[in-house]
Structure 1
Amino acid sequence: MGIQLAYWLINLSRRIKTVILITADIFFAVFALWAAFSLRLGELYMPKGDEWYLFAAAPLITVPVFIKMGLYRAIIRYIEVRALWTIIQAATLYALMFAVVVYQSGIKGIPRTVPPLNWLNMMLLVGSSRFLARWWLGDIYSRLSRSAIGNRKKNVVIYGAGSAGVQLASALGHGREYRPVAFIDDDVSLHKQKVNGLRIYPFSSLTYLIQRHQVSDILLAIPSATRARKSELIGQLEPYSVHVMSMPGLSDIAQGKVTFDTLQEVDIADLLGRDPVAPDETLLRANITGKVIMVTGAGGSIGSELCRQIIQLQPKALILFELSEFSLYAIEKELNYLLTKIRNSQKINVIPILGSVTNADRLEKVCTTFNVKTIYHTAAYKHVPMVEKNPGEAIWNNIFGTLYAAQAAMNAKVDTFVLISTDKAVRPTNTMGATKRFAELILQGLSLDSRKKHHTRFTMVRFGNVLGSSGSVVPLFREQIARGGPITVTDARIIRYFMTIPEASQLVIQAGAMGQGGDVFVLDMGEPIAIVDLAKRMVHLSGLEIKDAEHPSGDIEISYTGLRPGEKLYEELLIGDNVSQTGHARILRAQEHIIPWANLEKMLRILEQAAKNDDFERVRNILKDAVFGFIPQCEIGDLLWQEDRKPPKNQLSDAYR
Structure 2
Amino acid sequence: MVRRIDLIPSSVKLILALAYDLLSLSLAFYFSYIIRLGFDSVEISRHENLAFISVVGTTLALFYAFDVYNSVVRFFNAKAFLKIQLLLIAASIIFYLTSFFADAFVPRSVPIIFLVIASFQIAGARALVSLIAKKSWFDEREGVVIYGASSAGRQLVHALSQGNKYQPLAFLDEKKRYVGRRVLGLKIYSPLHITQLVKKHGQFKVLIAIPKVDPIRLKQIVAHIEPHALELLIVPGMSDIVSGKRTIDELREVSVDELLGRKPVQPIAELLSANITDKIVMVSGAGGSIGKELCRQIVLNKPKELILLDVSEALLYEIHQELSEILSESSNNLHVEPLIGNVQNGMLMRHIFSKHNVQTIYHAAAYKHVPMVENNVIAGVTNNVLGTYEIAQAAIYCQVETFVLISTDKAVRPTNVMGATKRLAELVLQGFAKKDHNTRFVMVRFGNVLGSSGSVVPLFKKQIKRGGPITITHPDIIRYFMTIPEAAQLVIQAGAMGTGGDVFVLDMGNPVKIVDLAYKMTHLMGLTIKDENTPNGDIEIHYSGLRPGEKLYEELLIGNNAEKTQHQRILTANERSLHYSAVDVIIEQLKEAMREEDEAKIRELLIAAPLDYQPAENSVRKIKANDNICSKVA
TM-score of the two chains, using structure 1 as the length reference: 0.73
Q: How many residues align?
A: 519
User: What does residue range 150-549 of structure 1 map to in structure 2 within 5 Å?
Assistant: 151-250=139-238, 259-342=247-330, 345-450=331-436, 453=437, 455-549=438-532
Residue 540 of structure 2 aligns to a residue whose secondary structure is strand
Q: Please say if residues 371 and 548 of structure 2, whose CA atoms lie closer than 8 Å, have aligned partners that are also in contact.
A: yes
Q: By how many angstroms is 1:241 displaced?
A: 3.5
In structure 2, the CA distance between the partners of 1:596 and 1:168, relative to structure 1 (3 Å rule), is same
Distance 1:333 1:10 in 2: 47
In structure 2, the CA distance between the partners of 1:550 and 1:4, relative to structure 1 (3 Å rule), is closer
Q: Point out where structure 1 has 5 or more consecutive residues left out of the alignment.
A: 13-73, 82-131, 636-657
Structure 2 letter corresponding to 1:208: Q
Residue 363 of structure 1 aligns to a residue whose secondary structure is helix
Q: Deviations over 1:243-293 (max 9, x none)?
A: 122234457767887554332222212232521111111111111111111
Q: By how many angstroms is 1:195 displaced?
A: 4.2
Q: Deviations over 1:54-108 (max 9, x none)?
A: xxxxxxxxxxxxxxxxxxxx999999x9xxxxxxxxxxxxxxxxxxxxxxxxxxx
Distance 2:162 2:411 in 1: 53
Distance 2:185 2:350 in 1: 67
In structure 2, the CA distance between the partners of 1:411 and 1:152, relative to structure 1 (3 Å rule), is farther
Distance 2:239 2:414 in 1: 38
Q: Please say if residues 316 and 347 of structure 1, whose CA atoms lie closer than 8 Å, have aligned partners that are also in contact.
A: no
Matched, 1:554 2:540: no
Distance 2:399 2:241 in 1: 41
Distance 1:611 1:377 in 2: 23
Structure 2 letter corresponding to 1:286: A
In structure 2, the CA distance between the partners of 1:459 and 1:355, relative to structure 1 (3 Å rule), is same
Distance 2:229 2:369 in 1: 35
Distance 2:612 2:11 in 1: 73
Range 577-586 or range 351-360, more displaced: 351-360
Q: Please say if residues 229 and 522 of structure 2, whose CA atoms lie closer than 8 Å, have aligned partners that are also in contact.
A: no
The corresponding residue for 1:44 is none
Q: By how many angstroms is 1:356 displaced?
A: 1.4
In structure 2, the CA distance between the partners of 1:556 and 1:457, relative to structure 1 (3 Å rule), is same
Q: Please say if residues 156 and 248 of structure 2, whose CA atoms lie closer than 8 Å, have aligned partners that are also in contact.
A: yes
Match of 1:584 among 560, 564, 567: 567
Q: Deviations over 1:340-395 (max 9, x none)?
A: 333xx522111111121122222222221111111111110000001101111111
Q: By how many angstroms is 1:506 displaced?
A: 0.6
Distance 1:166 1:435 in 2: 56
Q: By how many angstroms is 1:215 displaced?
A: 4.2
Q: By how many angstroms is 1:579 displaced?
A: 0.9
Distance 2:258 2:562 in 1: 29
Matched, 1:606 2:579: no
Distance 1:6 1:397 in 2: 62
Q: By how many angstroms is 1:332 displaced?
A: 1.1
Q: By how many angstroms is 1:219 displaced?
A: 1.3
In structure 2, the CA distance between the partners of 1:491 and 1:608, relative to structure 1 (3 Å rule), is same
Distance 1:254 1:341 in 2: 18
Range 239-248 or range 515-524, more displaced: 239-248
Residue 400 of structure 1 aligns to a residue whose secondary structure is helix
Distance 2:608 2:396 in 1: 27
Distance 1:322 1:10 in 2: 59
Structure 2 letter corresponding to 1:285: S
Matched, 1:575 2:558: yes
In structure 2, the CA distance between the partners of 1:548 and 1:208, relative to structure 1 (3 Å rule), is closer
- RMSD of aligned residue pairs (Cα, Å): 3.4
Determine what percentage of the aligned residue pairs are the same residue: 51
Q: Please say if residues 78 and 174 of structure 1, whose CA atoms lie closer than 8 Å, have aligned partners that are also in contact.
A: no
In structure 2, the CA distance between the partners of 1:402 and 1:155, relative to structure 1 (3 Å rule), is same
Which has the higher Rg, Structure 1 or Structure 2? Answer: 2
Q: Point out where structure 2 has 5 or more consecutive residues left out of the alignment.
A: 13-69, 78-121, 619-634
In structure 2, the CA distance between the partners of 1:410 and 1:535, relative to structure 1 (3 Å rule), is same
Matched, 1:597 2:583: no
Structure 2 letter corresponding to 1:156: V
Structure 1 letter corresponding to 2:429: L
Distance 1:289 1:75 in 2: 58
Structure 1 letter corresponding to 2:402: T
Q: Deviations over 1:152-177 (max 9, x none)?
A: 32100111123333333333333332
Q: Please say if residues 424 and 611 of structure 2, whose CA atoms lie closer than 8 Å, have aligned partners that are also in contact.
A: no
Distance 1:141 1:300 in 2: 54
In structure 2, the CA distance between the partners of 1:578 and 1:204, relative to structure 1 (3 Å rule), is closer
Q: Please say if residues 434 and 627 of structure 1, whose CA atoms lie closer than 8 Å, have aligned partners that are also in contact.
A: no
Q: By how many angstroms is 1:320 displaced?
A: 1.0
TM-score of the two chains, using structure 2 as the length reference: 0.75
Q: By how many angstroms is 1:408 displaced?
A: 1.9
Distance 2:73 2:350 in 1: 62
Q: Please say if residues 192 and 224 of structure 2, whose CA atoms lie closer than 8 Å, have aligned partners that are also in contact.
A: no
Residue 404 of structure 2 aligns to a residue whose secondary structure is strand
Distance 1:632 1:196 in 2: 64
Distance 1:146 1:511 in 2: 59
Structure 2 letter corresponding to 1:178: Y
Residue 189 of structure 1 aligns to a residue whose secondary structure is coil
Q: Deviations over 1:551-583 (max 9, x none)?
A: 222221211110011110000001122211100
Range 174-183 or range 602-611, more displaced: 174-183
